[in-house]
Each structure stands twice: as C-alpha cells, then as structure tokens.
Chain A
Amino acid sequence: MTSAIAVDRLEVIFDRFRALKGVSLDVQPGESFGLVGESGSGKSTLLRAIAGLAPVASGSIAVNGKTLGTRRDKAFYREVQMVFQDPYGSLHPRQTVDRLLQEPLAIHGFADGEKRIQQALDEVGLGNGFRFRYSHQLSGGQRQRVAIARALILEPSILLLDEPTSALDASVQAEVLNLLEEVRRRRKLTFLMVSHDLAIITHMCERLMVMQSGEAVENLAASDLVERRVTKDYTRNLLRASDGFVRTA
C-alpha cells in the first residue's frame, strides 16, 4: 500500500540554522499520526515543510505516492489541508465566515459553493446562523471550528493539524478534539497532528514520533506510552512531566 505521507531524510535549514536534521516519517492512509516534542524540536517545521511552508534543503516528501517538488500545485492542496494553532491569527479579520469559506472554493473552481458552505458549517456544528459573522464575533472554539470547516470544504484526504487546541480552554478543547475524531471517522481522513501534550496525542493518534532539536528521538505506538514502554530518557521526562508536579521532600 502506498503511504499517505512519506518523508525521507528531510533537512530544513533557515539561514544557517538546521531546524530539521534528516527526519524520516511514514504515515499510512487513514492513520492518525502524532508528533510530540518541546518548543524548538522541529515538530511544527516538519508539518510546515510538508505543506510547502518551510525551506527544504534536502530529502524528499511524497504524498499518496507522488513525490513533491519545491512548488505545490493546486491538486496538492485539494488533498492536503492544514489547521493552525492560533484561531485568532488564522482567520481574515475583515472577511465574514461565508467569504472565508468561499475563498478555497473559488480558487479550485467549485460550482456548488452555496451547498458546500452550508454542509461544511453543519459538519463542524456551527449552523447557518454563523455564516455572516466576522471572526471577532466568534469565540476561540468557534473560530477553530471555522478553520476546520475551511480545511474540510475541499474534501482533502489528509489534514495537517498544528496544535489545534492549545489556545483553547480545556472544555472547548474536548469539543474540538471530539469534532476532529468524528470527521476523521466519517471521511476516513489521514491526520498528522502536532502537540506538546502527550495526553492529547495518545488520545488522538495510533502512532507517534517524539522529536528533540530537529531529530527523531523515537517512534512509538500510543499503547507503548500508555504502558510506559519507552526506551529514551527524553520521552520518559516528557511522560513524567505530564503527570503534574510532584513535591520532593
């Protein structure tokens, strides 16, 4: 079976800084794969490199068996869409939700825009009442729903999720995570999800890769984390940290 995403010895260099030092990754179609690490570990850079938003120095990326060049074509973005971390920064402040959702449809020449916008809003649980609002009239959770609707409206097969809930309150986070799981099940999507929170990754993903300073530390199944079958100290530290504060006498 061809992999949904295959990354081979990828290097990303900003000026002279090596953000990714030869990282390889393989995600099967329909799988949910997690990337975990601290800030500066390169997890977001890897995601952005796949989306064509980071300068790739060497190595290769293939999506659904097709190796990508430096420029991404329209067909790529019909397959792969991204949801960003900050729901406040990723929606155009002077466009209504309706206008925001029309943009990708216009770019890709869809004719039945009206129907698709309604469908997309229904799917993320917003309904028609939100259609002509501006993003500043929405809460953080609602904005992230709009961002998810915008990603889904082109019916991609792969979603790249960059910390999609870290700017949200815990109760809203649960709603958005549930929504993401539901659309994945319904549309048989492939997820590549970045988070610094091990609990979220084990909840959402079947497999994951732990990263540190631009390199892969280890590849694990979510069940390994649950049973604490980890081999590297770095991962063990992350696991311990996610248990909360422990007072040393």
Chain B
Amino acid sequence: MNRETKTLLDVDDLRVTFPTRTGVIEAVRGVSFSLGRERLGIVGESGSGKSQTGRAIMGVTPSQARISANKLAFDGIDLLRISPRERRALRGNRIAMILQDPKYSLDPVMSIGRQIVETLRTHERVSKAEARERALAMLEAVQIRDPKRVFDLHPHEVSGGMGQRAMIAMMLIAGPEMMIADEPTSALDVTVQLDVLGILDKLVSDRGMGLIFISHDLRLVSSFCDRVIVMYAGKVVEQLKASELGNAQHPYTRGLLNCMPKIGADRHPLPVLDRKPEWAA
C-alpha cells in the first residue's frame, strides 16, 4: 500500500452528547469519514459540531460529554478503548492540534522556547541542549526571522501571527502524523493569514502529514484543502473534492457559498440562507 492511500484515521458514526439540566444536547450526530495523508477541510457554522468532532478525535472533550462511535481508529488503534495514559502518549506526539487564538492557547507565564522544549521532552528523551537546538530549528522552519530572540519571549510580547507560528512549531516538534487545526487563522489579519497557511501547507506536504482543517470559511478551506466535509446541525450534509465546490449539490453548501459578498458581484440584497428543517433531520 503506498503512503497516500493508507488510511490514517477512520471515523464511523461518531456521536458526542452533552447531558444538561434541560436534557441531552447532541453536538455531533453520526459523523463518518476517513483521512489519509491529505488535507481535509471540515466546514460549518457555529453549532454545527465541527469543533467537537475535532476535539473528540484529539480526546479533549469536556469530561461530562459522552462519546460513542462504531469506529474511531487512528492508525489501527481504537481511540475509545485505550487507557487515558496511552491516549496521552498519542496526544502531542502522533496527533497534534492547533487552536484558534494564540493569545489564549499558549501558556502566558512560560517563554515560547520553554513551551516548545516542554512538548519535545514530554515525548522524547533528549538532552536540554539538544531540545533547545531542535526548538530553534523548528522556529526557523515556521519562518520566524530571529529564532534566538523569540525563544526567550513570552506570548504577550509577540504578534498574533508570530504566536500562531510558535504554536505550529510547538505542535510539529514531536513530528506528528496527523494534525487537527481548529480555525488556525481566524484570529489573524488577512495578509498574515496567508503567510501562516503557506507555512502550514509546506510543512504538511513535506512531512506527509494528514491534516484536518476546521473552519467556518468555506472559500478559504476550498482554496487550501483537497477534500471538504460540510457539516450542519451535527451531521455531515455533503462531502466533496475542494475543486468540485462549484458543483456542490446540497442547498446548504450552495447557500453558504452564495451568501458571502464578493468583490465584483453586484447583488443587492444578498441572497440569504433559507434553512430547511429536513437538513437537520
């Protein structure tokens, strides 16, 4: 079997539910897909369950939630059966996750370099000196111009774009095979967004990783990913190749594409989404 077609992640009928005082909330309702060494986009609006899908795979769902699936397997390992200890060994090592806002997801009282070194030394036995060397090399790989200076800075001392690069460096240092990126560029300015995506794209293809790119921005995802899954109300409504987005069949996907203002399209008023109850059925 060659590298491209080998399945890295297999998800079948994934469900995430939250028991609350007023009843059970079904955040994810039977999601199935598989991921090879490719870029897969998961798109949906707030409340569609896209982030909870990513979190369930990573194993960072809040403890009160119930997760069930016919199959949730990473490289043949059943993620729902293994012990928390084994799960921890996977997390940050073979599976990594990038979050939306570096301001909130980096440790504010630890220098950027120490955070990267911490990740590395959690998963590999390396000397302090070697860890430092590798962290510096990684910072350089995410195109930070002066890695030695940035190594000693704290997260509040860097810009959003640089913070996000530092987070990518931290996630890639252990050499993961699969990366889940949850809105990795939504908190960044448009021009910085493209730089960060460019870095992510290069590293993912150079290292042959599988990438799950979660975003609300259908157009951005389709320009970046190979394949796109569209979610609505906890379900997958459509799966298609990114290049085929123009031929999307589901009215939700088409509505979502259509309702965004475009430069050069003179449409007043903008078409709005007419939500049908059967989409969520």
CB–CB B45/A199 < 8 A? no
Number of A-B contacts (CB under 8 A): 90
Asked whether A64 is an interface residue with its Cβ less than 8 Å from the other chain, the reply is: no
Q: Residues of B contacting A196 with CB < 8 Å? A: 189-190
> What's the nearest-Cβ distance from chain B to residue A206, in Å?
12
Q: Residues of A contacting B160 with CB < 8 Å? A: 39
Q: Residues of A contacting B268 with CB < 8 Å? A: 181, 203
- Docked Cα-Cα span, A123 to B190, in Å, equals 34
Q: Residues of A contacting B272 with CB < 8 Å? A: 171, 174-175, 178
Closest to B160 in A: A39
Asked whether B152 is an interface residue with its Cβ less than 8 Å from the other chain, the reply is: no
Asked whether B46 is an interface residue with its Cβ less than 8 Å from the other chain, the reply is: yes
Closest to A182 in B: B269
CB–CB A171/B256 < 8 A? yes
CB–CB A170/B270 < 8 A? no
- Docked Cα-Cα span, A204 to B269, in Å, equals 10
CB–CB B190/A177 < 8 A? no
Asked whether B81 is an interface residue with its Cβ less than 8 Å from the other chain, the reply is: no
Question: Which of B1-9, B14-22, B219-227 lies at the interface with chain A?
Answer: B219-227
Closest to B222 in A: A244
CB–CB A170/B220 < 8 A? no
CB–CB B191/A237 < 8 A? yes
Knowing A171-B272, A244-B219, the reply to whether A202 touches B261 (Cβ < 8 A) is yes
Q: 1/0 per residue B150-182: CB within 8 Å of A? A: 000000000010000000000000000000000
Q: Residues of A contacting B223 with CB < 8 Å? A: 244-246
Q: 1/0 per residue B174-211: CB within 8 Å of A? A: 00000000000000011111100110010000000000
Knowing A174-B272, A178-B270, the reply to whether A169 touches B46 (Cβ < 8 A) is yes
- Docked Cα-Cα span, A182 to B269, in Å, equals 8
Q: Which residues of A contact B (CB under 8 A)?
A: 38-39, 140, 169-171, 173-175, 177-178, 181-182, 196-200, 202-204, 225-226, 237-242, 244-248
